[in-house]
Amino acid sequence: MAIDLLLGLQWGDEGKGKIVDVLTKKYDIIARFQGGPNAGHTLEFDGIKHVLHTIPSGIFHPTATNLVGNGVVIDPVIFKQELDNLAPFDIDINTSLLVSRKAHLILPTHRLLDAASELAKGKAKIGSTLKGIGPTYMDKTGRNGIRVGDIELASWKTRYQALRDKHLAMVANMNVNLEYDMDSLDKAFFEAIDFLKTNISFVDSEQFLSVAQKEGKHILAEGAQGSLLDIDFGTYPFVTSSNTTAAGACTGLGVAPNKIGEVYGIFKAYTTRVGSGPFPTELFDEIGETMGRVGHEFGATTGRSRRCGWLDLVALKYAVEVNGVTQLMMMKGDVLSGFDTLNVCVSYDYRGQNIQHLPYSLNAEEVEPQYTSLPGWEEDLTKMRSEDELPKTFMDYVAFIEAYVETPIKIVSVGPDRNQTIFRSS
């Protein structure tokens, strides 16, 4: 059985958590393949809002198995906190949640290094979530990391101590003003490790998935962040430290490329970005401010306000192509109700040429977005539940996007709740 993928196509925060939750009924296994607690996947149902950082978004479905794959980086302290938040919901985490032994651990000193590195960069900072993501992936590729499977070995505390001390020396060398209490950081870390060892099943996840595929299980790989934050294909260096695109699912789960089935690409009807880095269609006016206010555009992990702007079809098409997207899902169309006109970026003026592809640099001095204006809609979409209720101007907006990116939009979401989801038949 092929494995389907679900990915964000912009700079993250597209609404992946909601769609995974909606689709989970069709799947036996939901598997996260990259990123870590920098993600904030929001799910809303029965009047309750849940934010997940490391745990896959299928966790609220009683029959789904949720797998944290080898490509994910895990902060045991945050992971334990997430599990504590699930306690009132009667979820048997012992059976419904599995963690790959090959996933790398975020140490408290990785977080310190992240903070020190951002302080040292000053104005050039990445705008990291400060969860230790970059330093942990650096230790992984530098072959110094500590993996989940290591904590089952007797010698691991010695290795922890050595890596921690090395990190502390690096922080000291960076000459930044960072206050921390290492004893309490160590204490919280080891308490969380003990909790995980007792409560969570560790697995050889590539083997687990291989058997599950042979048994005909339906598997969905859940991406985090977005394609424009990919370490290779994003707006480097203002990116995260993992491959957020489709190929990341292969390396982050141990799945062969020829085993990938559908690739669901999620995007917002406009664009947002949190943290630093180029954003050609960013709005600095009342329209951008309205999008942020109506769309509640605040980071689920950091609470930072998100930058907002028009939909960038050049960037969207790039993401569709890099990922091999087969179906699109458009989120937050409801937020655009009330604008007379909607602009969509259809090309860039770049170094004296008009282009329709993503160039090497998206820096504001080099890229001037070119727009087509489409009529807006007045209607409140949030109570609509079927395609035939949606206004014509909205459907024209959808059709324009589909034609540009040459991929069908199969779901439109008109609000945060599970039931505010319209499946399109055509």
Please list the active-site residues.
Answer: 13, 41
In which element (H, E) is residue 230 found? Answer: none
The single-letter code of the amino acid at 272 is T
Q: What distance in Å separates the CA atoms of residue 137 and residue 105, rounded to the nearest whole number?
A: 10
* Helical spans, DSSP H, in 182-275: 182-199, 205-214, 246-253
| Cβ–Cβ < 8 Å for 4, 264 | yes
DSSP per residue over 329-364, as a string?
A: EEE-GGGGTT-SEEEEEEEEEETTEEESS--S---T
The β-bridge partners of 371 are 345
Nearer to ligand IMP, 14 or 28 (CB): 14
Q: Which residue, chain included where needed, has tokens 């141990």?
A: 254
Least distance (Å) from ligand IMP to the CB of residue 136? 10
Q: Which two tokens stand for residue 382?
A: 């949030």
Q: What distance in Å separates the CA atoms of residue 197 and residue 11, rounded to the nearest whole number?
A: 34
Nearer to ligand IMP, 65 or 225 (CB): 225
Backbone angles phi, psi at 290, to 5 degrees: -65, -45
Nearer to ligand IMP, 200 or 224 (CB): 224
Least distance (Å) from ligand IMP to the CB of residue 126? 5
| Cβ–Cβ < 8 Å for 404, 30 | no
Least distance (Å) from ligand IMP to the CB of residue 81? 17
Least distance (Å) from ligand IMP to the CB of residue 78? 12
Nearer to ligand IMP, 19 or 212 (CB): 19
| Cβ–Cβ < 8 Å for 279, 10 | no
CA–CA distances in Å: residue 224 to residues 13, 56, 70, 243, 328 = 9, 10, 14, 10, 16
Nearer to ligand IMP, 73 or 311 (CB): 73
Least distance (Å) from ligand IMP to the CB of residue 115? 11
Least distance (Å) from ligand IMP to the CB of residue 7? 12
Nearer to ligand IMP, 160 or 238 (CB): 238
Q: What is the CA radius of gyration of the chain?
A: 21
Nearer to ligand IMP, 42 or 413 (CB): 42
Question: Which positions touch ligand IMP (CB under 6 A)?
Answer: 11-13, 38-40, 126-129, 131, 133-134, 224-225, 229, 238, 240-241, 274-275
Nearest residue to ligand IMP, by Cβ distance, number only: 275
Closest C-alpha to 311, from 277, 335, 327, 338? 335
Q: What distance in Å separates the CA atoms of residue 284 and residue 305, rounded to the nearest whole number?
A: 13
The β-bridge partners of 266 are 8, 329
Q: Which two tokens stand for residue 331?
A: 């989120």
Least distance (Å) from ligand IMP to the CB of residue 19? 15
Terminal-to-terminal C-alpha distance of the chain = 25
